Amino acid sequence: MTFRARHLLGIEPLHPLEITTLLDLADTYVDLNRRTIKHSDALAGMTQINMFFENSTRTQASFELAGKRLGADVMNMSVSQSSVKKGETLIDTAMTLNAMHPDLLVVRHQNSGAVNQLAEKVNCAVLNAGDGKHEHPTQALLDALTIRRAKGRLHRLTVAICGDIAHSRVARSNLILLGKMENRVRLIGPPTLMPAGVAEFGCEVYDDMKAGLEGADVVMMLRLQKERMDGAFIPSEREYYHRYGLDAEKLAFAKEDAIVMHPGPMNRGVEIDGTLADDINRSVIQEQVEMGVAVRMAAMDLLARNLKAHRGAEAAGEH
Ligand code: ASP
């Protein structure tokens, strides 16, 4: 099998073939999800726990639905009621849950690196549902599937990622994935919202939106991550929208058939014009949500297969 990973902690450790394997399987789950009876038994008998220490709408709902459609027993741990509020550390909580024998643990946490740390302590498969400014691998994979289906390929495309690059795990995971698949990535945004060392990323960097969008096949907008900003990064939202908000006039600089993406949640009138976001001829934002469920089903299915094989080999070694 060409998917060897035991956890899905980020895009960084994945081989391009593993990415393709996962997307190919996700395509089959898109078909399943469009049927009236959306059921598979890939995770039958397995337990999936979702631990979200940061707010989430799409990601949490989509992981829950994905697990249920694959036949897993799914538990959502509500952090507001958990012992974490009483001062228990993330690792203690993970060890407690580990003792209940979950097979898949889906974790979102505000600290970069927290999910990797946790994966070292537990003996199930761990999926990173977003850790701080670090990675959001299933988002990048669902974006990749959306692009591949809309453009018919996932290589030699010009993809413009625009806005708050510095605070975005979505931008990070996407630029790693798109780079691995040999696309040309451009980062567009004010210098205050570019990460330190951006020159080393191997991307073209623009602070002028129109110049950056010239000839782009894909335009990916990002939300201003105010919760991760400690100070003023932009003069005002109005000024930001004027310079970096995507509207029809700026989009006209991209290719005529360029698609518009946004991971959500969207701030209409801040990073994107509301009418453009809803324009089904240009925007694939709803498709991204649909692909999210399929990609998470594929990721959990592949990890579950590896987990079963690993446990089987361990058991065989014991005798
Ligand atoms: N939902 C994405 C994330 O969790 C993007 C965002 O919040 O702006 O990173």
Query: pLDDT digits over 257-291, tens only?
Result: 999 999 999 999 999 999 999 999 999 999 999 99
- CA-263 nearest atom, ligand 1: 5
Amino acid identity for residue 208 in this structure: D
- CA-170 nearest atom, ligand 1: 9
Judge if the beta carbon of residue 137 lies within 6 A of ligand 1. no
Task: Count CB atoms within 10 A of the CB of residue 202.
Answer: 9
22 alpha carbon to ligand 1 midpoint, in Å? 22
Q: What is the pLDDT of residue 317?
A: 83
Nearest CA to ligand 1 atom 1: 264
Judge if the beta carbon of residue 136 lies within 6 A of ligand 1. yes
Within 13 Å and on the Cβ side, how many CA atoms surround 92? 8
Q: What is the pLDDT of residue 77?
A: 87
Q: What is the pLDDT of residue 111?
A: 93
- CA dist 163 and 226 (Å) reads 12
Indicate the average pLDDT of the chain: 94
The answer to whether 248 and 273 have CB atoms below 8 angstroms apart is yes
- CA-223 nearest atom, ligand 1: 8
136, 172, 229, 272, best to mutate for ligand 1 pocket (most atoms within 8 Å of CB): 136
Structure letter (DSSP) for residue 268:
B
131 alpha carbon to ligand 1 midpoint, in Å? 10
Each residue's pLDDT tens digit, 24-34? 999 999 999 99
Q: What is the pLDDT of residue 201?
A: 85
Percent of all residues in the chain with a pLDDT value above 70, rounded to a whole number: 97
Q: What is the pLDDT of residue 233?
A: 84
Q: What is the pLDDT of residue 78?
A: 74
Judge if the beta carbon of residue 223 lies within 6 A of ligand 1. yes
Q: What is the pLDDT of residue 81?
A: 65
Q: Kindly calculate the radius of gyration of the chain based on its CA atoms and give it in whole angstroms.
A: 20
141, 170, 193, 289, best to mutate for ligand 1 pocket (most atoms within 8 Å of CB): 170
* pTM assigned to the model: 0.96
Q: What is the pLDDT of residue 1?
A: 54
Within 13 Å and on the Cβ side, how many CA atoms surround 12? 12
Q: What is the mean pLDDT of each run of 10 residues along the chain (319 residues)?
A: 91 97 98 97 97 92 98 89 73 89 96 94 96 97 98 98 97 97 97 90 94 98 88 86 97 98 96 97 98 98 96 83
